[in-house]
Structure formats: structure tokens, C-alpha cells
Structure 1
Amino acid sequence: MPMPADALHACLAEAFPDAEIVIDDLAGDGDHYRARIVSTAFIGLNRVKQHQLVYAALKGRMGGELHALALETSVPASGG
């Protein structure tokens, strides 16, 4: 059973409450998404560690309810 975009967003928002999160359904099938996540949780972490945090937040849904997820993670731009 596919994972609705709002369920994916809710899962990510729970794990990253300060984040700006944008979910795009890439195929219109509820199985292929792109998630853009900007969070202070990623400060000081390389891209691999950032993505590991996201996968951990999905609590095993990746590969089951969620078939494909393209990730774009970053830290907030410093105000300047």
C-alpha cells in the first residue's frame, strides 16, 4: 500500500519539528517522492549522515510503504 504524501510529511515533521519540508510526488503513484528538508538537525553532518537521520525517521517504511525517496537535505541559510 502506498504512503500518502501527507503521511510522509507528518512523519518527517515529527522527527524534524523545526524543518522546512517540501514533498513532491514524482510519479503520481504515492510510491515515488522527492523530499526537500531544511533543518538545524543537519548542522555539522555530512550528506550521508543527514540522509541516515531521515531514513531513521521513516521507521522502516522505506522499501515497504515507500518505494523510492529522492532526498535533498540542507541546513538553514544563516541570516546575513
Structure 2
Amino acid sequence: MGMSRETLTKYLTEAFPDAEITLTDLAGDDNHWQAEIVSAQFAGVPRVRQHQMVYDALKGEMGGVLHALALKTRAPA
């Protein structure tokens, strides 16, 4: 199983159209990703809520189709 870069990018860009998104496939298996997301939507939002926003963008696929996602989120400087 796993989630392709294209699918993950689609989910994230739909939720965060203004974002700068960098994806790294940590294990080469489409199942362990790192996402760095810089979005104005994160301004003034606590980190835990930022990560919840990302999980919401994945529409229930986290923990099922997608096994692991390391997150780095922040608002633009």
C-alpha cells in the first residue's frame, strides 16, 4: 500500500493552495513521508492545530493508506 507523491501533493495543495510544500519519501516505499509545509493559514495557529489541519486535509487516509507522516509546519516569515 502507500500513497504516491502525486496523491499526497493533491490533498495538501487542495487544503493549502498558498503553501510551499516539500515532500520527502523517507523509506522509498510511498508509505513513510516527511512534509514541510509553509502556509499563511498557519499564522497564529498552535503547532498541534497546524498538524491537525494537515491530517484533516488527508481525508482519513492517515494511518490507513498512509502509514507515517513526519510534519514540519510554519507560517511564512
Please confirm whether the aligned pair reaches a TM-score higher than 0.5, indicating the same fold.
yes
- How far apart are 1:67 and its partner, in Å? 0.1
Residue 50 (structure 1) aligns with: 50
Instruction: Give TM-score scaled by structure 1 length.
Output: 0.94
Larger Rg: 1
- Amino acid across the alignment from 1:32: H
What are the equivalent positions in structure 2 for 1:10-49 lying under 5 Å apart? 10-49=10-49
Instruction: Give TM-score scaled by structure 2 length.
Output: 0.97
Q: State the distance in 1 between where 2:2 and 2:61 align.
A: 10
Structure 2 unaligned residues grouped into runs of 5+? none
- How far apart are 1:10 and its partner, in Å? 1.0
- How far apart are 1:6 and its partner, in Å? 1.4
Spell out structure 1 runs of 4+ moving beyond 4 A.
none
Q: CA RMSD, aligned part only?
A: 0.5
Q: Deviations along 1:6-28, whole A, 9 cap, x unmatched? A: 11011100000000000000000
